[in-house]
Amino acid sequence: MTVSRDNSLAVYQGIKDAGIRFITALPETWLVYLLQLAEDDPDMTLIEVAKEEEAIGIAAGAHFAGQPNLLLMQNHGFLAAINGIVSLAMLYRVPLCMLIAHRGHMGEPYPWHTQGGIVTEPVLRALNIPFDYARDHQTVARQIKEAYTYSLSSLSPVALMLSRDLMED
């Protein structure tokens, strides 16, 4: 399986259509084309981080500066960023719109992804973080806009899980 360029473009267009011009991300295989698109787009600010928890602080700062933003990460990165999500975003009611590459779900061929895939949804539920799955390139733009809007109206983290159906050819 390879990462879908066309579906990555649909996701990226959905980000832009939602009015987002600031992305914080940690590079990951399924996100490669999204990051390239953001990097090549003069209208987009892309901040790549070494650890996902850094992305939470940067996104919070962007929010307080009035800059619409979005986070791109893998589900293992989401798990690594829980401290920042809980002690910064949830505590101070910072809207975080997180697009999470949901690795380790059904069909996952790599064992190093499976444990994170197994626990991602239960952790989201335990933290009361609203989430949905993006599976179709035809609806992903609407889902991104809805997730972003919901993060703003709820003043809380919201996750849109980028599925294997969407991200791979």
Looking up tokens 């933290």, which residue turns up?
127
**67-115 confidence digits (pLDDT tens):** 999 999 999 999 999 999 999 999 999 999 999 999 987 787 787 888 8
Q: Give the C-alpha separation, 77 to 165, whole Å.
A: 20
pLDDT at 108: 79
Q: How far is CA 141 from the centre of its chain?
A: 13
To which CATH superfamily is domain 5-167 assigned? Answer: Thiamin diphosphate (ThDP)-binding fold, Pyr/PP domains (3.40.50.970)
Q: Which residues contact 142 (CB under 8 A, 6 or more apart)?
A: 14
pLDDT tens digits for range 119-158? 999 999 999 999 999 999 999 999 999 999 999 999 999 9
For the entire predicted model, the pTM comes to: 0.95
Domain ranges of the chain: 5-167
The rounded Cα 51 to chain-centroid distance in angstroms is 14
Determine which helix (DSSP H) or strand (DSSP E) holds 165, and give its type and residue range.
helix 164-167
